[in-house]
Structure 1
Amino acid sequence: MTGEHERLSAWFAAATPAPAESMAAWRLAPKFPRRLSTGITFDVVLADRSIVELAYEILSQYKQTVGPAIRFTNLTMAAVLVPPGTAPRWHGLVTGSSWLDRKAVPVCFGPGHAVRIPGIAPLAQDVPVEWLKEPSTESAIGDVPLLTSPVQLVRCLAEARSILTPDDERNPLSRAVSAVRAVLRTPQRT
């Protein structure tokens, strides 16, 4: 493992019951996915993959921190790593956002759950998970990678959902918000 991979592996290993044993096993098999407990070094927001991908594009356009995210290759879901402690606040964040469709609200998992993540040096094919956005020590504080802000994430997930939902599935308020956004994004002629 390179120095960068070693530091990231140490951070991920902190989310296992035996960090030293996990690190030793990962040195032997750095390409294989890992199963990590949530709520220790990160919580996980789970949402439809297309919504997460578009939300990450929006976050980047707004020049917000875009932390690690995982795409599940055998599902239509993706998971965003967010700071630990997000899960108990998630419902309030969604309620306070412009999330208009309560049927498809993303879920946040904290303590008591686990998630499978790709190895730091992932396999090229036939794996159940891959990085949508890899963790990086370049955007880190110490050896901890920066994680996506849950406040910004929920706003961008709501915006992405609004953009991707067909008009016939939206309620009248959702259609109005989309129409206003479209007008605001269109260059004005003077």
Structure 2
Amino acid sequence: METRIATGENERLSTWFAAATSSPDVSMAAWGLTPKSPRRLSTGITFDVVLAERPLVELTHEILRRYEQTVGPAIRFTNLITAAVLVPPGTAARWSDLVANSTWPDHKAVPICLGRGHAVRIPGLLPVASGSPVEWLEEPGNESAVGEAPLLTSPVQLVRCLAEARSLLSPDTERSPLSRAVSAVRAVLRTPQRT
């Protein structure tokens, strides 16, 4: 049985998120009073974030699941078309190399990764009624990777699946003949076959 603080929020995850604030104890006390409220957290401490268009992130998560990869926490900003995927700290320092070594289909719309010196707003860990500026696209899981940290999406797998999703979402006029052929084959493979 999992341990929860009085408000019903997962204490382990709250502790992990609080580590990304300047005063973890003060943050935990405030979150106990308002567990549904969004939180502003510094990136680069317990996690970095990859920002991309929401449709791209949603398709990427579908592809990650299809390949049976870990799908870590992700958030969507309700007043924007942007989503953010939480990745291990330090990812921002090597993000441009990861993208350069991937099969990114073009030089447009490359997702960015934010590390130290930035902040992101995340939802509280309790469900909230609609109207919040930020919601979980993928809630943090109860499994932990190491210590108190939840499992996060691997940046190597994320960039590969983002590139595949970008290729699938690109209009045919922007895609190479090879990428159009690959998409056509994937579409056939996904279609249930009649016997």
In the superposition, the TM-score normalised over structure 1's length comes to 0.92
Shift of residue 124, structure 1, vs aligned partner:
1.5
Equivalent of 2:33, from 21, 28, 33? Answer: 28
Measured after TM superposition, the shift of residue 99 of structure 1 is 0.3
> How big is each residue's C-alpha offset from its partner over 1:89-142, in whole Å with a ceiling of 9 and x where there is no partner?
000000000001111100000000000000011311110000000002235433
Choose which of 132, 146, 150 in structure 2 pairs with 1:127: 132
Q: Map 1:1-190 to 2 at 5 A.
A: 2=4, 5-168=10-173, 170-172=174-176, 175-183=177-185, 186-187=188-189
The separation in 2 between residues aligned to 1:73 and 1:185, in whole angstroms, is 30
Amino acid at match of 2:82: M
Query: 2:74 and 2:140 mapped to 1: Cα distance?
Result: 8
Q: Percent identity?
A: 68
User: Structure 1 regions of 5+ residues with no counterpart?
Assistant: none
Are the aligned partners of 1:30 and 1:122 in contact in 2 as well (CA < 8 Å)? no
Work out whether residues 49 and 115 of structure 2, in 8 Å CA contact, stay in contact via their aligned partners in 1.
yes
Matches of 1:181 and 1:166, distance apart in 2: 11
Q: What is the CA-CA distance between 1:182 and the residue it aligns to? A: 2.4
Where structure 2 has 5 or more consecutive residues not aligned to the other structure, the ranges are none
Tell me, what secondary structure is at the counterpart of 1:151? helix
Aligned residues: 186
**Does the 8 Å CA contact 1:32/1:122 hold for their aligned counterparts?**
no
Q: How far apart are the structure 1 equivalents of 2:128 and 2:186? A: 43
Name the aligned partner's letter for residue 184 of structure 2. Answer: A
4+ runs deviating over 6 angstroms? none
d(CA) in 1 for partners of 2:19, 2:180 = 42
Contact 2:16 2:148 in 1 (8 A): yes
RMSD: 1.8
The residue matched to 2:178 in structure 1 has which SS?
helix
